[in-house]
Structures are given as C-alpha cells and as structure tokens.
Structure 1
C-alpha cells in the first residue's frame, strides 16, 4: 500500500494513508514521505498474542476495526476522490460504506488470490467457522463463506450504516470486494484463471527503496560467499528459538553463512560464531539479490520479492495464504516447501539442498526476468483514469 501511495504521489496525486499506529508502520510511511493517519489499535501486540485459529476476542476486534472506518477513516477521507482499501472484511466493508456516504470512488485490493471467490479454489476458513468437510464443491463452499460473513459481520455493518443514514446491504463480502477487485500479484507467479469475478490483476506492488544497506550488513555480505537469508516477517513464531537453531544448522550443513532477520519473532542465533549475522529493517529487494537462498514463511510480499531477485526459496508456511505460495514456488521449480511450521535441521537441510541445486537456481534466475515491476503504475493509472 505504501508502494501505491508513493507512485500516486509521483503522478501528482495527494495521498493520505490510514494505518495502525505501530512504530514500524509509522517509520515506513515517514521514510516514504507519505502522510499517515493513525487508525485503530497497534497490530503487533495483537498478532503476537492471538492463538492461531482461535475466535476468542474476534467480535470485539471486528467491532473496533469497523468503528475506526466510520470514525477515523471517514474523517481522513473527507475531500478525497478515491478510497482504496485492503485487509480484513470489517475494514473493507466499513471503508466501502464510508466511500458510499461521502460519494467518492472506492477500490478494493487483495495482495493474495486465496481470499477472492473462485470455482478453482476453496475459501479460507474464517475464525470459529470451519468449513463443512463433507462439502467438496468450491462454489458451494464460497456460498457458505458468504453466509458466514453475513452472520459474523453483517449486523455490525448495517448498524453503523443506519447510524449515518445508509440503507442496509446484503452480501457483505461481495459488497466489500466489489465486482472488479484489484489483485496485486504477478500473473506468472500467480496466474488468475478466468472466473465470474472481474478481477483486475495489476502485478505486484513493489515499493521503491533507495536506502543503502546498513553498514554492518554490507560489511558482512562483502566478507564472504552469499549467505542464506532466514526471516519470518510479522509471524510471532512461538517456536522461534527452535527454528532459528534449525535454520542455522541447515545453512551450516550446506557450507553457507547465515543472515537472520529478527522480525516480530525476534530471531536470534544460538551461538556467537561469526558466520551468522542478525539484521533488523532493511531493503529486501536489494538484500535478496545478494543472498544464496531465502528461507521465509510464504507471504505474498516475501515470495514476490525473492522471485524478482532471482534467488531460490525455501517456504515454511505458518498459516493464512502461505501454503498457496509454497505450492506456487514448488510448481514453478524455483525452490522447495515444507509442511511442518517448525521443521528440524535435517528437514530444512534437505529443502535447502534442493533450493540450492543448480537447476533450481537457473529456474529462479530465469523467472525473475518475467516478473512485472509496473504494478503500482498500472494500479495508479486505473485509479487516476490515466490507464489505456
């Protein structure tokens, strides 16, 4: 979203981004020179305390997220021409209602295909609403998902709408997504098959980053062969010490140095040997081009950035859309994937060996030349009415 904001601004638009007040997000937007409006509660404390799959506290979180749309976001969107939303359904449905109330354009964007209705895939299960295992037809499952969404969030949305003079809506999910959602993924990395939904696939939104790599990191990279990067982004990783130990062991078994990204899991090496370096925030686009392989959780951003850099990947899915990206990495032959979210050093070593094989490295390098880099230009053009 910051990448889109930067591109819109370069094309002459005034841009305002509503984001949670986490320090990381504030620093990111400040560094990009984009105006930020703090909205809702910080995300990091929530991510690091919620039990995976648990619906505990979901109703209150949904209520808080939606209230922020009708309060903070509505105030921030006054005088704007377009409101672009992403994120959980309480956010996007609330945001579209705000746009409707203000009489401005609205666009929804997904950064992963798994949340968009398609007969070619089942919907992801909602917290506390498991999909019936006896139903195999994807269309029927998406219909069930739509009913679940209405039962979970429809009453809440319509209460807010009534309070601002808007009529109720049926089908909250499809209302939030619209009939023409943006899909900010690469068409080679993530081919979207034709469906009844008018998906507009723009390409991945890569953020331009001109920051030099931190001095200590640059020195470590210059001091030897390309290391193996290991990072899990915003995943809390309750097994962080174990997976850090396993990843370091796997890299050493392959004769490679290790670059550990702390992330929200606070990864740290188990010993003080000089073949391991720990890094915080850095430009992954520049960094991935200088490593031998990337071990990550399988987010859309990490997968696309590694693919663009032409470096092989090892995906260790932790949930959400991670299994999908793991499947794409293996299908394209640009890396390996594991089923265990907390693999052993032996399992990781085998996966890393497959990723570092010459044929895998060659496929990763070849694929990188096909990755679109104009995703934000395409999306910005559509939003500003300048696309051909």
Structure 2
C-alpha cells in the first residue's frame, strides 16, 4: 500500500504538463472545417487498352471485383517479396519497454491481446491497453493499464451490421450517419495518439510509448509510430497482407480473366484502395492537426504498411490456415491467442440443464447487434425443433430470446466459451476469430453465420476443412438451411475433421510464438541505451560532431546531468525506428498528373472556403460569432490557395517527374538504384549529385549491356528486348538526373526550413518525456529508500564508469 501511495504521489508531483489526461469525447472534437459529410466511394473503375477493373460495394458489405483483361494477357504482380532482414534474428534480450496496444473492435478483438499482454509483462515490459471506454473493467480486472480511445463498440457493431464491410448503404448516407461516424473515427485516431504520450487517467502515472502493437482497424498505428519514431508491430485475426493463396476476406470476385492467384493478390490492393479513399481526408486532417505531419498521398495510403514492411503477426493456427509461401520474413503466423481458462462455476440453471440430457448445440452471436432479434430467435428455435436437439442460445448484445420459453432450450447470459464449449456437441456462431478458435480447440464442428469482416473467411476455411458446412450469411438464414447445417455438424465426418484440427492446434502456443515474433522484429541494438543496455534509449547526446552521439536512457541521462558530466541542453529526442512515408512513383506521367490533381483539389477547397466564409457567418450571426467564423474560414481558404502553388511549382512537380523517370524501369522488371533520403539541404545536394551522375552512367552502360545480356538469354528476341530497355534507359536515367538537379536541392531546403524548430507535436513529445523522466527519477529515490543507498550508488557508479570509458579518446 505504501509503495502504491508513493507511486501516485510521485506521479502527481511531476505531472504538471497535462491538465486533463482522460480522453473524453468532448476533448477530442475534430476541427470544424473538415468535410465530414463527404460521401464514400461506392465504385472504382479503371479502364485501359490492356485491362478493365471495376470494384463495386455490395449490400453484404464486401467489394465485388471484376478484373477483365485482353485475351491472353496476364497482369504482372511481384514475383517475390522484397528482401527483409530480421533485426533481432538471435532474439537477444530486449530492453524493458513501454508498450501500448491499440485495439478497435469488439470484446472478442480485445480478449486475445490480454493473453499477449500477460506474456509481454512476464518479459519485463510495461503494457498499456488502449481501446474503447466500455472495456475499462474488462482490461483493468485482467491486471493491465487502460487508456480510453473513445468510440462505442455496440454502436459500431450495429452500424457494421447495417453497413457491413467498408461501404455504408444509401439509407445510412441519407440519414446523416456518415458525418457522425467519420467524427467518431477522428476521435478514435486522436485517442490512440493520446494513448502514446499521456499519463494514466486513473492514477496520473506518466507514460510514453516506446513500442506500438495494434490491430489494423485502429488505423492510427503507423502514423503514431512515425510521429514518435518507435517500432510498430501489427497483429490481426484476418488476412491483411497481399497473397496469391486466397482473396481478401472483404473481396467477392465476380468475374475475372486473370488467373485466380493473380486475382487473389490484386484483391488486397483494390479493397485497401476503397477503404483508404473513404478515410484519407479524416486521417490526413488528423495527421496535420495532431501529429504535425504532412498528408499521405492518395496512392500511397493503401500500401503504407506493406511498402514499409511493418512486421505483422497473424493470430491463427498454421495447422488450420498455413502461412502463404509468398509472404515474406516480416510476416509470421503464430497460432490463436488463448488466455488462461478462467475459473467458472455454473449456476444451478445451467448445471441442471447440462445434466438433464445429451450435450446441447451452442448458438450465439456475441457482440453482434441486430435490428430484429425476435425474428432471429424464431428462426433459431424452429431449426432446433426441426433437428430434435437441445440447445443453449446465448442472449448476446442483441438480447435473443426475451420472453421465449422452451424446455429443450436454455437462453444464457455471459459464460466463458473456454468452459462452455467442453459441454456442447457443436457450435453455431457469427464467426469471430476468437470464438472460432475456441470451438476448434475443443474439437467442436462449427457453423458460421457471418455478418461482416473476416467472419465469412473463417466460415470458408472451416468448410474447406470439412469441420462444418459452408457459411450461411445472416440475411439468408432460415430454419431449413440452419437445421441442415446443424445436422451436418453432428455427422461423424464433421466430428472427425474437427478432432484432427484440434489435435494440431493443441501443439501451438500462439501467445508465446507471438511474443517471440514481436521481440525478433525489434531493432534491439538501436533501442538500447549505450550505458545501460537493459534500459531503452530515449535521448541523443551529441555535443561534438567528432564523436559518435550517445544513446541515453532516462536513467542514464539523469545520473550524468546530476553529476555534471553532461549538460541537458545538448540532448535531442531520439527515434530508434524512424519512419519515412514516401510517395510511390511509377512513371513520370502518372506522377506528374497526381501532383497536378492534388494541387487542383487543394486550390479548389481553398477557393470554396473563400466564398463559404461569408455564408457561414450569415448562418451564425444569431450566435454572435458569425464574423469571426467567416474571417477564419476566409483566411484558411485564401491561405490554401496562395500556399499550394509555390511548393507545387518548386518542389512537388519537379520531384514527381524526377522520381517517375527514375522508377520507370521497374515497370519492365529492372531494379533501380536507391540514392538515399533527402532530410535537409545538405542531403538534398548529395542525392541530386548521385541521381545526375548515375543517371548518365547507368543510361549509357545500359544501352550497351542490356542488348548484350538479352542476346545471351534469348538470342535475337532477347537482343531486341534488351535494345528497347537500353534505349528507354538512355531517356529515363539522364532525364531523372537533369530534373533531379533542380528538384532535390529545393526539397532539401524545404525540409531544412520545416525542421528548423520543434513542431507542436515534437514539443508535446518532449514534454511527455521530461515528465516521465522526472517521475522515474522520483521512483528511483523511493527504491533507494527500500533497497538502500548502496544499491542507488552502484547504479550511479555503473553509469559513470561506462560514460568515462566512452569519453576516452580512441
């Protein structure tokens, strides 16, 4: 008790920089000038001489994809993954980190991460779970810090049932719910960011994230990681990485002339593109306002995590769905995350029902919220009676079975599936990954009634394994097809298939494997403090340009400054895993046109705001704030109109042409040189020089060597192909070099100017680190009181001796 009291007192004493740590929705209101009623993208159409692609939103929530090509034409997809070297392949011990786990979804989405969090805690990390407010007790009772990110999952689930998948229906569009949901997304993005840098809402203990684990629907993950410069690791229960093995779970392939594997691969990019189209403006507004980051280009957004090769762990059993061969080393399939089986004693009603007859069928839809629960209850009861079986029906969030009574049916409240599924014959549910895993682990044949998301995918996988029938979409469910599905689940064929899967799954340890995956992808060497390897480096001490900068932890930095070995004014925030989001360039035409469209869009938005300002003022004049609002809107619009042109002319357009020419050879299979990143005016000149010199050198040498190499491989046909590549190289290489002489130095100057002072976000991070460092110093004083002054002095001596060794000249 005394230790807990001191922790809270220490937190209160140092916590002066954050006045309100609780992420209430009214604190997270999005800026008023965003276009919250912007309609979603219902259809994407891309046509050309070679192929025609159409992606249309369906009523069942998936994207119907038509991919038609000219006869005999194949669509190229990457033949292999980019090379990826696992940073910590030896799995050496990581320093103790503050890990924030960001989760958007239902209770079934949160629960697996509690099991993972327990494993991370045992490895010495501090774990914070950031999710919806309604799960506070669920998280804290499991022994974790909780941070609310906003968003009501029951409301989100009801919205998803009405508008499954990625596109809302017309009725929702007309009702004005689009604006409401886009604002909720904005608040959740903001909540996720606050979970990275703000103190614990309950006890004020400071926190700064040193690593992020997230599920993809949280959306904030890569942007928060970019702002902080810390490692990011994605974990999910449904396929999110492009593969030829199976299509995106939200894609419904209507027709295609391409081969199935190519279609599967392309479905991921098309679904991601539609998703990003609907969220791009919200995400970019949040990046600008809260993270002080540039907007993500429209063509770059859908493929950010894949292009950056963000480590990804999939939480399903490889015995059930093996890892596809075209997934690279940065992707792991580790097994389902199972928590320890909770202690549970059934009440008398459940106990006697289970003992009074043969094992019942379990039917439940968990956190799904349905419009017509009475109709669903009637279907379930009719199917159970038609099969002549007993059943346990979970009431769930839809409150199934209100007022219904049947001696062979028990309507049940909350009950752990880990215990209950041991006592049933088969299971019928919505197809959540956690419920699916629990049923299969207990060797229970399964019928999936999907509503949205990955649920249909799991139903298809179960059917492929013969452990259940094909999934029955909830809108198609009736007493006849449900009764038929239950009958199949009770056959020896289904039971034997489920038993085989269960036997293989019991050999997995998904939580431990996921923890190993997380640690193996951490850049441990860059994370460590140079003086205290068990502590994470958070400061960079660089007094002299002649010496290599020191990476220092909070503890080491405090001890050195306290002993007057170094001065705090020479500290800079350290980013162990910096992220650079680059615009994907493929050719000069599309690159230039994308810049032009972006400029026109920004100019048009600014132009419209110039004229909407007075209109808003007229509408608001009764409130007394009309003139001010009109002036602000007019100023914002005029600023956008004036500000967009100089940067586009001097930086964006020349850079697009340069990189489009530079990357053009990739379209016909050639590799291109990486000339490095432009971070400031100096590196801008270096990259410009390399692009110019190598552009001419590679262009001239390619004109000679490409025909020769082609002739060696394919005689005269190869010679002709090589000659064509060589001629193209004579244009693209020198062309990129010439444009680069202008583009890269201006880009460097632009970045130098923008980095000349700390951004508002960097100031917030700096404050958070200082508050956290002060808190940890106070905790070390308390520890010295408990462990003795000798322990405290030994730690200081260790740091000072290590610093003296580093300070000696070589």
Is the 1:206–1:373 Cα contact (8 Å) retained in structure 2? no
Q: 2:242 aligns with which of 108, 117, 128?
A: 117
Q: Is the 8 A contact 2:463 2:470 kept in 1?
A: yes
C-alpha distance in 2, partners of 1:196/1:298?
25
Deviation of 1:259 (Å)? 0.6
Contact 2:250 2:453 in 1 (8 A): no
1:288 deviation in Å?
0.7
Summarize the Cα distance change of 1:140–1:87 in structure 2 as closer, same or farther, 3 Å threshold: closer
Which runs of 5 or more residues in structure 2 are unaligned?
Answer: 1-112, 200-205, 523-810
Cα deviation for residue 201 of structure 1 reads: 0.8
Corresponding residue number in structure 2 for 1:353: 487
- Alignment partner, residue 208 of structure 2: 79
Aligned counterpart in structure 1 of residue 318 of structure 2, from 165, 183, 187: 187
Bigger shift: residues 141-150 or 301-310: 141-150
Q: Secondary structure at the match of 1:263?
A: coil
**Aligned partners of 1:237, 1:226: CA distance in 2, in Å?**
28
Matched, 1:42 2:152: yes
Rg comparison, structure with higher value: 2
Q: Which residue of 2 aligns with 1:231?
A: 364
1:251 match: secondary structure? helix
Considering only aligned residues, what root-mean-square deviation do their CA atoms show, in Å? Answer: 2.8
Residue deviations 1:353-375 (CA, integer Å, cap 9, x gap): 11101222122122211115411
Output the CA distance in 2 between the equivalents of 1:333 and 1:134: 27
Matches within 5 A, 1:1-388: 1-22=113-134, 25-49=135-159, 51-53=162-164, 54=168, 56=173, 57=178, 58-75=181-198, 78-88=207-217, 91-92=218-219, 94-113=220-239, 115-123=240-248, 137-163=263-289, 164-170=291-297, 171-176=300-305, 178-179=308-309, 180-197=311-328, 198-216=330-348, 217-268=350-401, 271-342=404-475, 343-371=477-505, 372-385=507-520
Question: Secondary structure of the equivalent of 1:336?
Answer: coil
SS in 1 for 2:223: helix
CA contact (8 A) 1:183 1:201 kept: yes
Distance 1:384 1:193, change over 3 A: closer
Contact residue 96 and residue 176 of structure 1 kept, 8 A: yes
Distance 1:195 1:305 in 2: 28
How far the C-alpha of 1:176 sits from its partner, in A, is 4.1
CA deviation after TM superposition for structure 1 residue 132, in Å? 9.0
Q: Which moved more, 1:263-272 or 1:323-332?
A: 263-272
Q: Residues 78 and 167 from structure 1, CA distance in 2 versus in 1: closer, same or farther, beyond 3 angstroms?
A: farther
Does 274-283 or 64-73 show the bigger shift? 64-73
Q: 1:50-83: per-residue Cα shift (whole Å, max 9, x none)?
A: 5224164143333222222233444369433321
Classify the secondary structure of the residue corresponding to 2:428: strand
Counterpart CA distance in 1 for 2:455 and 2:374 is 21
User: 1:155 and 1:246, CA in 2 relative to 1: closer, same or farther beyond 3 A?
Assistant: closer
TM-score by length of 1: 0.87
TM-score with structure 2 setting the length: 0.44
Equivalent-residue separation in structure 1 for 2:189 and 2:436 (angstroms): 30
SS at match of 1:256: coil
Aligned residues: 378
How big is the shift at 1:37? 1.0
The alpha-carbon distance between structure 1 residues 206 and 187, as it changes in their structure 2 partners (threshold 3 A), is same
Aligned-partner Cα distance in 1 for 2:429–2:257: 32
SS in 1 for 2:397: helix
Contact 1:338 1:351 in 2 (8 A): no
- Is the Cα–Cα contact under 8 Å of residues 47 and 236 in structure 1 kept in the other structure? yes
Give the secondary structure class of the aligned counterpart of 1:16: strand
CA distance in 2, matches of 1:332, 1:184: 18
Closer, same or farther: CA 352–196 of 1 in aligned 2, 3 Å: closer
Consecutive unaligned residues of structure 1, counting only runs of 5 or more, are none
- C-alpha distance in 1 between matches for 2:232 and 2:351: 42
SS in 1 for 2:378: helix
Cα distance change, pair 373–210 in 1 and its aligned pair in 2 (3 A): farther
Q: 1:235 to 1:141 in 2, by over 3 A?
A: same
Contact conserved, 1:228 with 1:258, CA < 8 A, in 2?
Answer: yes
